[in-house]
Amino acid sequence: KRRRTEAVEIEDRLESLIIRVGEKSTSSLESNLEGLASVLEADINNYKGKILKILIDCAVKMPEKTTIYTTLVGLLNAKNYNFGGEFVDMMAKKLKEALKACMWRTARYVLRFFSDLVNCHVISTNSLLQLLLTFLETARDDNSPQVRSDTYVYAVLSCLPWVGRELYEKKEQDLDRLLKHIEIYVRKRSRKHVPGLRVWRSDRPHPQEEYLDCLWAQICKLRSDMWQEKHIARPYVAFDSILCEALQHNIPQITLPTHHQDNTYLFPWVVFRLFDYTDCPEGPVLPGAHSIERYLIEEHLHNIIKEYHHERKQCAALLLDFPLKHKIPLEYMIVEVVLAELFHLPGPRYIEICYGSLLIELCKLQPATMPQVLAQAVELLFDRIDTMNVCCFDRFVNWFGYHLSNFQFKWSWDDWLEAAQLDSSHPRAKFIIEVLLKAMRLSYRQRIAEVVPEQFDCFVPQKPEPVYKFCADSTADLPGMDTAHRLESAIRAKGTVTELLAVLAELPNPLRESEDTDPPYNPLQIQVFVQSILHLGSKSFSHAFAGISKFLKAFESLVGNHEEAQMLVLKEMHEVWSTHQQMMVMLCDKFLRTQIVSCATVANWVFSKEMVPEFTKSYIWEILHGTIRKMNKHVARLQREVNEARERRVGNDSDDSSDSDNEEQQQQQQRPRPSEEEIERMEEKLEGAQADQKNLFLIIFQRFIMILSEHLVRCDTDGRDFNTHWYRWTIGRLHQIFMMHNTQVERYSQTLSTLLFTQDLDPHILDAFNQFVALRS
Amino acid sequence: SRTEQERHLRLTTTLYVGNLSFYTTEEQLYELFGRSGDIKRIVMGLDKFRKTPCGFCFVEYFTREDAEMCMRYINGTRLDDRIVRTDWDAGFIEGRQYGRG
């Protein structure tokens, strides 16, 4: 037994040595690598399996240390040819698995590792070329979507910074042929998806390039520089005399898995460009947009964020401690990369607050430079906001409001004074209005009013106050006034639902036309009831929520399932709280959760006549997206339940029942197996929810099509330019629905294209749909 | 018991939030804490005698994941110029909203 523990200790030690090689150390990387190679060589016979596994993990999971591990493998191969061969075979296996499982990142890093192994004389140049050509064959496959070949071509292109020079020196003609293939492919690709993924509509001052186009341009530039790049550290150069003695292996033949409809590929993206070298006047020069260094550094920074986004402090520290920090304007590159992730379309990789808190940490850690660079970034974003994508506009507002709240709302507001002269629907004016609204939510109105210059009084939000139309000192003689006052007293006296309904029963029903008709609901009752409840619960969210929960039965009896009645609830809410956007957002949420109103009603309300003046304000869209999200979550939950039930029905409870840590799992296993009928009932429920979801999207898209078509036609007949602020906000919001809920909308895309987005539609509207479809084609 | 308590802490979706300003409102808390996920409810900590906010609250999320996001990204950032501190809480029980007066 002791021998076993000893073996485990040795394995742990080897693992730690391998993982940590290349970290800061007192001796040189070369001598560390040499030492480690000797240690491993001595242990290869006894611990081969373990060493192989660790090396492969490192190769895949630490791409920033690729060249360190390829050198190590090179040294080991020089000492032990068979070991090198086994390593190559295992990596090839890893690649096959990754391709099959659509793990494109892993696949790309294995391919890159293979490329760099050519530099270390572990792999023959010909066999790498063969593999790269195999990848490029996908470009000629017309029976699979473009995203598939894009994914493979991208993997090949992203290897070339590592192995381009070697191929150029040894196999120039083959390399030329390879590049020719890529060039032909890049030229003929469809770019329908690009407009939908751009942060800005405009290419000024910086072109907004699609990722593959951009990398291709960077590779072309590298080629014209004779494949010399200055970013990648190449420790194997020092070992050239040892490595060139070694024998090389061939990568085993790899056949690519064919396309399957369930496969997911890389979502295309557009490279975010905010700065160029003129923006960072002091210090080292920012690499140009087509310099390969820009790509390599950006990729490295993105990888740091990916690896450490859970730990914002560590993440910030590692970003600022970037290895080449003295050779580049690091703060600029970090800010560009973090904002690129925040503005990424269709959605950011991680939740928005992750980037917000990371930027705060960066400012705290580097207070001498970071806040200035970030402020400069905000200035540029503000300058370019006229053509900014609406999804990104919202994220910009949310982030900036939050950021300011962490820094006492200090900002050079005076630089933006000109915006006060603009139309309030102009993007710049709107940005300031919305930022102040967000800032106010995180603070209070007075503070915001004091912090901005007086010229911005026009932008400062109104004081959030309820307007109760049955107010006692109101002089207006409204129908229902007396009842409202009696209702208030009844509520204050802790009356029951029955008592309240009795008070309301005295109101006549304006919908009743004759004695015989019995209208489904009484609008006056709803008006009086909703106004009173919200008025009495106006002190805080909790008060409002408590009122709604307490009188849920009254809501049910007054409103029921009638769309018009539900609509009335929302209208009354808006009348009471029109100056308090956050309250309306919260109340809508509460009404949906308590099923007082349906998702479809909220959607119809957003597009209703009464809401026209509110239509371009952000909170309306916060409400609508919240509504869609709620529906999506509901469907997802029912789907999960059906899947789980089906699994339990088949009976997968034999495995892992000893795992006592996982309490939830155990609980699940204790539940009895569902019967076939139970599953059927669950499936029916799911189908019902999916029908509601589909209906919700149909309503929303139909309303968009109606108002946009109407606008376009009216402008056409009046001979006016259709391209107004209103039009751009509205088309932007339509686009936002597609982007934010693209996975859910995708399920109904067939229906949408046959029912709504038909060919006779105005191309401006149809474009939004086509861009969305192109994301996956 | 202690292990029971630990189990609760491992599964809870409730956070205790401290170091708030007495003037911070429930609305501000919804705005900030809603940024890490959907909030089930917020219970304001109140002065035992005056029944006014006294610098802490409980935030309950619908899911554990959202509460974890809050621990990661909101804990240690500012609200009303004060650094808010969040900590796992075994779950709010009526009566606990009253602080020492």
Q: Following DSSP, what letter does each residue of A12-23 receive, concatenated?
A: HHHHHHHHHTTS
Whether B79 sits inside 8 A of A582 (CB atoms) is no
Q: Tell me the shortest Cα–Cα distance from A406 to chain B, in angstroms.
A: 5
pLDDT at A283: 87
Contact call for residues B36 and A351 (beta carbons, < 8 A): yes
Whether A442 sits inside 8 A of B32 (CB atoms) is yes
Chain A contact set for B28 (CB, 8 A): 441-444
Give residue A477's pLDDT band: very low, low, confident or very high (50, 70, 90): confident
State phi, psi for A548 to the nearest 5 degrees.
Answer: -65, -45
Give residue B93's pLDDT band: very low, low, confident or very high (50, 70, 90): confident
Whether B27 sits inside 8 A of A582 (CB atoms) is yes
Average of per-residue pLDDT across A433-450: 98
pLDDT at A673: 84
Whether B28 sits inside 8 A of A442 (CB atoms) is yes
Q: What is the CA radius of gyration of chain A?
A: 31
For strands B53-61 and B39-47, give the pairing. antiparallel
By Cβ distance, the residue of B27, B73, B74 closest to A441 is B27
The DSSP code for A720 is -
Upper half-sphere CA count for residue A688 (Cβ side, 13 Å): 7
Q: How far apart are CA A405 and CA A70, in angstroms?
A: 47
Please give the residue of chain A at the shortest CA–CA distance from B28. Answer: A442
Helix, coil or strand: residue A24: coil
Q: How far apart are CA A21 and CA A11, in angstroms?
A: 16
Q: Which among A242, A139, A249, A135 has a CA at the least distance from the CA of A184?
A: A139
Q: Which residues contact A260 (CB under 8 A, 6 or more apart)?
A: none
Please give the residue of chain B at the shortest CA–CA distance from A358. Answer: B73
ipTM over 0.90: yes
Chain A contact set for B42 (CB, 8 A): 541-542
**From the CB of residue A241, how many other CB atoms can be counted at a distance below 10 Å?**
7
Give residue A657's pLDDT band: very low, low, confident or very high (50, 70, 90): very low
Contact call for residues A113 and A94 (beta carbons, < 8 A): no
Chain B contact set for A356 (CB, 8 A): 35, 73
Whether A354 sits inside 8 A of B81 (CB atoms) is no
Chain B contact set for A463 (CB, 8 A): none
Q: Tell me the shortest Cα–Cα distance from B79 to chain A, in angstroms.
A: 7
By Cβ distance, the residue of A311, A356, A443 closest to B80 is A443
Helix, coil or strand: residue A748: coil
Among B9, B29, B36, B77, the strongest candidate for a mutation testing the A interface, having the largest count of A CBs within 10 A, is B77
Give residue A656's pLDDT band: very low, low, confident or very high (50, 70, 90): very low
Q: Tell me the shortest Cα–Cα distance from A710 to chain B, in angstroms.
A: 36
Chain A contact set for B22 (CB, 8 A): none
pLDDT at B97: 86
Q: What percent of chain A has a predicted confidence (pLDDT) above 90?
A: 89
Q: Tell me the shortest Cα–Cα distance from B83 to chain A, in angstroms.
A: 9
* End-to-end CA, chain A: 58
pLDDT at A496: 94
Helix, coil or strand: residue B56: strand
Lookup result for tokens 């890490």? B36
Please give the residue of chain B at the shortest CA–CA distance from A311. Answer: B72
Chain B contact set for A444 (CB, 8 A): 25, 28
pLDDT for residue A97 is more than 90: yes
Whether B31 sits inside 8 A of A352 (CB atoms) is no
Whether B69 sits inside 8 A of A542 (CB atoms) is no
Q: Which among B11, B68, B63 has a CA at the least distance from the CA of A662?
A: B11
pLDDT for residue A664 is more than 60: no
Whether A353 sits inside 8 A of B35 (CB atoms) is yes
Range of lowest pLDDT (A511-525, A703-717, B21-35): A511-525
Q: How far apart are CA A205 and CA A274, in angstroms?
A: 9
pLDDT for residue A444 is more than 80: yes
Interface residues on A facing B, Cβ-Cβ cutoff 8 A? 310-312, 351-354, 356-357, 360, 398, 402, 405-406, 408, 438, 441-444, 540-542, 545, 582-583, 586, 663
Rounded to whole angstroms, the maximal C-alpha distance in chain B is 38
Q: How far apart are CA A598 and CA A694, in angstroms?
A: 14
Lookup result for tokens 């409002």? A544
Whether A353 sits inside 8 A of B74 (CB atoms) is yes
Please give the residue of chain B at the shortest CA–CA distance from A314. Answer: B72
Please give the residue of chain B at the shortest CA–CA distance from A403. Answer: B78
A657 or B93, greater pLDDT: B93
The DSSP code for B87 is E
Whether B73 sits inside 8 A of A351 (CB atoms) is yes
Q: Which residues contact A376 (CB under 8 A, 6 or more apart)?
A: A279
A–B interface: beta-carbon pairs under 8 A: 63
pLDDT for residue B56 is more than 90: yes
Whether A582 sits inside 8 A of B80 (CB atoms) is no
- Answering whether pTM is above 0.90, one says yes
pLDDT at A337: 98
Whether A441 sits inside 8 A of B28 (CB atoms) is yes
**Can you list the pairs that A238-242 forms with residues at least 24 positions away whose Cβ atoms lie under 8 Å?**
A238/A30, A239/A30, A239/A33, A239/A34, A239/A71, A239/A74, A239/A75, A242/A75, A242/A78
Q: Tell me the shortest Cα–Cα distance from A315 to chain B, in angstroms.
A: 12
By Cβ distance, the residue of A351, A438, A663 closest to B36 is A351
Whether A353 sits inside 8 A of B80 (CB atoms) is no
pLDDT at A508: 92
Give residue A141's pLDDT band: very low, low, confident or very high (50, 70, 90): confident
Q: Give the pLDDT confidence of A607-623 residue by residue, as tens digits.
A: 999 999 999 999 999 99
User: Which DSSP helix (H) or strand (E) runs through A151?
Assistant: helix A146-157
Q: How far apart are CA A140 and CA A148, in angstroms?
A: 11
pLDDT at B90: 86
Interface residues on B facing A, Cβ-Cβ cutoff 8 A? 7, 11, 25-28, 30-32, 35-36, 41-42, 44, 69, 72-74, 77-81
Contact call for residues A15 and A54 (beta carbons, < 8 A): yes
pLDDT at A155: 98
Q: Give the pLDDT confidence of A546-589 residue by residue, as tens digits.
A: 999 999 999 999 999 999 999 999 999 999 999 999 999 999 99
Whether B27 sits inside 8 A of A542 (CB atoms) is no
Average of per-residue pLDDT across A524-553: 97
Structure tokens at A411: 């900002």
Q: How far apart are CA A59 and CA A70, in angstroms?
A: 8
Q: Tell me the shortest Cα–Cα distance from B41 to chain A, in angstroms.
A: 8
By Cβ distance, the residue of B7, B31, B73 closest to A357 is B73
Q: Give the pLDDT confidence of A408-440 residue by residue, as tens digits.
A: 999 999 999 999 999 999 999 999 999 999 999
Contact call for residues A461 and B50 (beta carbons, < 8 A): no
Strand partners of residue B58:
B16, B43
The DSSP code for A466 is -
Among A410, A434, A541, the strongest candidate for a mutation testing the B interface, having the largest count of B CBs within 10 A, is A541
Please give the residue of chain A at the shortest CA–CA distance from B77. Answer: A406
Please give the residue of chain A at the shortest CA–CA distance from B43. Answer: A542
pLDDT at A13: 93
Whether A357 sits inside 8 A of B77 (CB atoms) is yes
Contact call for residues A747 and A691 (beta carbons, < 8 A): no
pLDDT at A658: 47
pLDDT for residue A665 is more than 80: no
